[in-house]
Chain A
């Protein structure tokens, strides 16, 4: 178990190092940093001096090492455009994105999983067929379209929910939250549904397929022959056996929710990291882009690590020393 965690941590480090290299390459090779800082009529001597002062004439490997060390200290550079430390910018925007992603995930899990269980148990009923058909919509509709349609209905026609921004936020010093004001909560509704809809339908369909699979197994038939209650069989025995694949997909999708909140944030003018990234791309603000890249990679790595640990919690077969374990069954 500990060996497993250490191994995964080591792999995570390698991944982060590789991403760091890509981020570093952005600085070095997407445009020349000296060129973008120096004025057109600056002399070659001045440019040389600037390069020396900033350490840009050192070998690439030394510069890379310095970059990684700075990142570890929390120094992600200074935004070309805002002239503020990138770490500060991200810390400003992070709460907005995380709150949005949290709400979207709750929408996806709390609605998606029960619907999946329902359609898995009651297949061939009208309700299930309708849900299946509707879910096909959810899974194939592009996020920006969902967002625009929702804005059209709830903001333009019905005029009940705001179409952009976070509403009023409360500043807790290190975190700004929209959870504590009515306008903040109202502003969360449409973006959360927009961002969560795809995951919700995906989870529903996944849980349904897995349920159908598990309900055919011998141990479910045997549980029936033992006269256990339907509730215990469906939600105890069957649902728990669908969890391993569901955790995998839900975990990976949580990562992409954070990474690809960009579109939803753009549609709703949500002041989150995705929005920050889009602005950075517009302005070729390389320190921000590099930091965003590192940030997302870090989140993915952490989520994957948590998913791996959850496997251990769910499936006892993984917990045991392989030598002791007898035949494997799936």
Chain B
């Protein structure tokens, strides 16, 4: 049973498309995105603001705000399709089978309830536990995420915790029902740099101990390099490149990934100037035909302006770029 489970993906996203109908036509914010996460694996989803990475996460939760909607594609969690479930069945999956960590720990917790109450209500909503058991479980979890004196702290309110401590509480909330998958949307962005590393360590350790897979959404390549097994680079709603994290960082293929890597300062090497990608990501209303990256790409050629590349295997990664197409190589 375990062996069978461990080689089946926890999450399979296939051809996901998220649309926003507006007065000026339908905007496609996430376009044909596919990926899988294996049990215990950490998949990074990286890209600029507006690349569609958070929306991908929100779509997995089934919490897109109308008029946003999943227009096509499937989301399969542990073998069951979850993108077409009725409201109440999806609610039972959220928090039980998928945990969430949000960006800003200062605003993720309800200020009027003690953290204990928020933990206990999540546990008793999804699991068959008495209040006393749920409380005991909460105290253990708080200890696990590194909150000192959890027996006392459990009865305190969110404002009595620092930002880093609150994010630990949020992680405890995400893991309190032992989900198979945690979607962490920019979990460190709102924190001090010195706290970021701690939080990432806690998240990583807990997910390893609980054998939980993680979808880590971030724009911070440093966090990705430190944490992930595989990484998917998103650009303008599509995946540009996906592969093992070492491969993508050391041996980036897509010109956009190249640009991203070039923009990270490297302390060891003495370079005068960081490379930067010229221009900015197109708005959803102004995505050019062909490859969406073509206006900024230093290597763009004829085909890039007319035809949109799909992901194709290249070494250990998959990349959506005509530079790696056989026909291009032959020509």
Contact = CB atoms under 8 A, between A and B. Distances in A.
Nearest to A241: B112
Given A241-B112, A325-B160, A227 B107 contact: no
B92 interface: yes
B153 interface: no
Interface stretch (A27-35, A37-45, A218-226, A248-256): A218-226
B121 interface: yes
Contacts of A329: 106-107, 111, 158-159
A240 B112 CA distance: 8
A229 interface: yes
A325 B161 CA distance: 8
A329 to B, nearest CB: 5
A225 B160 contact: no
Contacts of B63: 221, 224-225
A317 interface: yes
Contact of B159 (A225, A227, A232, A316): A316
A217 interface: yes
B301 to A, nearest CB: 44
Contacts of B158: 329
Nearest to B87: A230
Residue with the greatest number of chain B CB neighbours at <10 A, chosen from A219, A223, A228, A324: A219
Contacts of A326: 159-163
Interface residues of B, number: 33
A93 interface: no
Nearest to B91: A227
B102 A320 contact: no
A316 B96 CA distance: 29
A328 B104 contact: no
B217 to A, nearest CB: 13
Given A227-B91, A325-B160, A237 B110 contact: yes
B110 A241 contact: yes
B160 A320 contact: yes
Interface string A203-218: 0000000000000011
Given A232-B125, A324-B160, A326-B160, A226 B173 contact: yes
Interface string A297-324: 0000000000000000011110010001
B91 A229 contact: yes
Given A316-B157, A320-B157, A224 B111 contact: no
Given A326-B162, A327-B159, A328-B159, A218 B102 contact: yes
B104 A225 contact: no
A212 to B, nearest CB: 13
A121 B96 CA distance: 25
Contacts of B94: 224-227
Given A232-B121, A317-B157, A222 B109 contact: yes
A315 to B, nearest CB: 6
A329 B126 CA distance: 28
B125 A221 contact: no
A227 B125 contact: yes
A222 B125 contact: no
B160 A227 contact: no
Contacts of B100: 222, 225-226
Contact of B95 (A219, A227, A230, A236): A227
A227 B93 contact: yes
Contacts of A241: 110-112
B63 to A, nearest CB: 6
Contacts of B114: 316
B154 to A, nearest CB: 14
Nearest to B163: A327
Contacts of A315: 111-112
B74 interface: no
B235 interface: no
Interface string B215-255: 00000000000000000000000000000000000000000
Given A225-B94, A226-B173, A227-B91, A219 B109 contact: yes
B108 interface: yes
A325 B109 CA distance: 15
A217 B125 contact: no
Interface string A228-267: 1110100011001100000000000000000000000000
A221 B95 contact: no
Given A217-B107, A320-B157, A314 B102 contact: no
Given A219-B108, A224-B63, A328-B159, 16 more contacts: A218-B108, A219-B107, A219-B110, A222-B100, A222-B108, A222-B173, A225-B94, A225-B100, A227-B126, A232-B125, A237-B110, A240-B112, A316-B114, A316-B159, A326-B160, A326-B161
19 contacts: A217-B107, A218-B104, A219-B111, A222-B100, A222-B170, A223-B110, A224-B94, A225-B102, A227-B122, A228-B122, A229-B91, A241-B112, A316-B159, A325-B159, A326-B160, A326-B163, A327-B162, A327-B163, A328-B159
Interface of B: 61, 63, 91-96, 100, 102, 104, 106-114, 121-122, 125-126, 157-163, 170, 173
Q: Which 4 A-B pairs have the closest CB atoms?
A: A227-B95, A225-B100, A227-B94, A218-B107
